[in-house]
Structure 1
């Protein structure tokens, strides 16, 4: 399973999204202010997904908006952390 698909599944479960199934989420679509309707409280849940499934702690909260922009940017962040040994590889 591709990392993007994993992230979609984890977020779908954690956020209990019922409007759109994760396989229909475009990777490049905005997570916030978009069709999914995520808000600032959901951002906390995204942080929990990163910690729970990948062992990633968000060190710089100022970067969160860019990192959490889309599934694509979130996956790029996780890949960078995995490459540097700062995240678990789930597979």
Structure 2
């Protein structure tokens, strides 16, 4: 009888140990998945910030070039010819 109880105790311990290992493996998988998702969104956030910065810089450059072109066109319209003008700032 004592042997039977001892065997039953060992089986229960093995079952609990197996369940613990399975639970631990599932938890590790879920944590890895959460970590990967977090990392992905972190990098996407910074990539979006960088992209926004590039778009803003490009729009500033294009706006500056268009303003310069507009000044040149206005100068041609008023004088009839293009003169090189050196601006002092």
- Whether these two folds match at TM > 0.5 is no
Report the TM-score range of the alignment, normalised by the length of the smaller protein.
under 0.3
- TM-score where L is the length of structure 2: 0.22
